[in-house]
């Protein structure tokens, strides 16, 4: 395994000075849905143009310490001919890579998923390390209802997370371990808390069993919120208290960082909640954000695929990064 101190230093570098992570690692299937929703055809060139737009936006390195990429992007050049990975490195942003192959239906367990992508992963990590990538991401998806998840889905996904994380560390990349409990559905915040706690506890236990160094891991999780379909929606103070209670119960202080996904919350809600969490700091770990939709949604719709909108879309992205960075320091105002 790579030296634990090196892994720990990488994790700390990504999250230094209140910085967070941009998740720009949508698989082709996912980005296609997002682009088509704003009327843009999902060609390789359009995906490249959109990612170029994000990565060349001025000053975002002040608030973004890392960007998670998808395999296609790692192999693309920016519009000025620089490799995308080099472009980010040149700005002082640590490049990372999503390595899972997606959450697939779990046979025998209707409505539940297991994440695939372990086959050949050691060899892929060796290549990614050569390409200059320094951290990785693996997302598992846990369905939540009054009866789900099953113990089997929790266990299989936790085992997969740990197998991936051990291989990442062996190759010298910091694994972002992301078990996402999905907040669709009409369950209340108590059920969200109960499931998130069980999932994080099982994940940490699997990491320990498989000898993953917790000092060289970043945990990425959902905030503990009310199911989006429920009538009673918890406000930021309750979300912050419940989220931090679950994290204190499950995540050892050896873990250097915990980052939140936005998970389909609207931009304002995601940042109101992040701000309330930040105001309760300091915590044993660095707490920050790793958003995809809450950072990219607005700029993507402003862009709409049109060259003449690039400057306005970059302004919109810079604004999202600034506001999210403020929330992450507990300085967000509505």
Helices (H) and strands (E) in the chain, counts: 12, 10
Under rule CB under 6 A, residue 23 binds ligand 13P? yes
Identify which of residues 259 and 308 has a Cβ nearer to ligand 13P in the complex.
259
Size of the site for ligand 13P (CB under 6 A): 10
C-alpha span between 67 and 271 (Å, rounded): 19
Under rule CB under 6 A, residue 320 binds ligand 13P? no
Residue 22 · residue 67 · CB < 8 Å: yes
Least Å from the CB of residue 295 to ligand 13P: 8
In the residue annotation, 123 being an active-site residue is answered as: no
Give the one residue of 171, 182, 234, 294 binding ligand 13P; rule: CB under 6 A.
294
Identify which of residues 32 and 82 has a Cβ nearer to ligand 13P in the complex.
32
Q: How far is CA 252 from CA 19, 214, 248, in A?
A: 21, 8, 8
Give the one residue of 139, 187, 191, 320 binding ligand 13P; rule: CB under 6 A.
139
Least Å from the CB of residue 21 to ligand 13P: 8
Catalytic entry in 26, 112, 178, 197: 178
Under rule CB under 6 A, residue 168 binds ligand 13P? no
Q: Interacting stretch for ligand 13P, rule CB under 6 A, among 86-94, 203-211, 238-246, 258-266?
A: 258-266
Q: What residues between 35 and 94 interact with ligand 13P by CB under 6 A?
A: none
Q: What residues between 199 and 238 interact with ligand 13P by CB under 6 A?
A: none
Residue 294 · residue 22 · CB < 8 Å: no
Under rule CB under 6 A, residue 187 binds ligand 13P? no
In which element (H, E) is residue 138 found? strand 135-142
Cβ-based neighbours of 256, under 8 Å, separated by 6 or more: 8, 11, 12, 15, 215, 216, 217, 218, 285, 286
In the residue annotation, 178 being an active-site residue is answered as: yes
Under rule CB under 6 A, residue 291 binds ligand 13P? yes
Q: Interacting stretch for ligand 13P, rule CB under 6 A, among 45-53, 143-151, 261-269, 271-279?
A: 261-269
C-alpha span between 192 and 196 (Å, rounded): 6
Under rule CB under 6 A, residue 293 binds ligand 13P? yes
Q: How far is CA 16 from CA 12, 49, 93, 313, in A?
A: 6, 29, 11, 27
Residue 137 · residue 23 · CB < 8 Å: yes
Q: Interacting stretch for ligand 13P, rule CB under 6 A, among 123-131, 144-152, 285-293, 302-310?
A: 285-293
- CB neighbour burial string for 31-40, b if at least 16 within 10 angstroms, e if fewer: bbebbeeeeb
**Which residues would be at the binding site for ligand 13P (CB under 6 A)?**
23, 139, 178, 261-263, 291-294
Residues marked as catalytic: 178, 220
């Amino acid at each position: 395994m790579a030296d634990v101190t090196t892994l720990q230093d990488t994790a700390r570098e990504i999250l230094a000075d209140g910085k967070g992570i941009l998740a720009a690692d949508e698989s082709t299937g996912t980005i296609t849905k997002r682009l088509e929703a704003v009327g843009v055809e999902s060609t390789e060139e359009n995906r490249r143009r959109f990612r170029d737009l994000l990565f060349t936006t001025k000053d975002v390195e002040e608030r973004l310490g890392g960007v998670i990429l998808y395999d296609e992007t790692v192999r693309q050049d920016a519009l000025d001919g620089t490799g995308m990975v080099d472009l980010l490195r040149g700005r002082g942003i640590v490049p990372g890579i999503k390595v899972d192959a997606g959450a697939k239906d779990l046979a025998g367990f209707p409505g539940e998923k297991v994440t695939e992508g372990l086959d050949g992963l050691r060899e892929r990590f060796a290549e990614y390390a050569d390409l200059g990538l320094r951290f990785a991401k693996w997302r598992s998806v846990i369905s939540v209802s009054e009866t789900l998840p099953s113990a089997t889905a929790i266990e299989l996904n936790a085992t997969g997370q740990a197998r991936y994380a051990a291989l990442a560390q062996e190759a010298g990349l910091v694994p972002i371990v992301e078990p996402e409990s999905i907040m669709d559905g009409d369950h209340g915040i108590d059920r969200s808390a109960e499931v998130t706690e069980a999932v994080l506890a099982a994940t940490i236990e699997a990491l320990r069993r498989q000898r993953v160094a917790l000092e060289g891991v970043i945990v990425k999780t959902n905030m503990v919120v009310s199911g989006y379909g429920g009538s009673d929606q918890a406000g930021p103070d309750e979300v912050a208290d419940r989220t931090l209670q679950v994290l204190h119960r499950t995540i050892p202080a050896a873990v250097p960082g915990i980052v939140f996904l936005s998970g389909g919350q609207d931009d304002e809600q995601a940042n109101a909640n992040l701000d309330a969490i930040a105001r309760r700091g300091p915590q044993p770990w660095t707490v920050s954000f790793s958003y995809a939709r809450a950072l990219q949604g607005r700029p993507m719709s402003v862009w709409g695929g049109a060259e003449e909108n690039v400057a306005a879309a970059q302004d919109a992205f810079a604004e999202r990064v600034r506001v999210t960075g403020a929330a992450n320091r507990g300085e967000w105002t509505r």
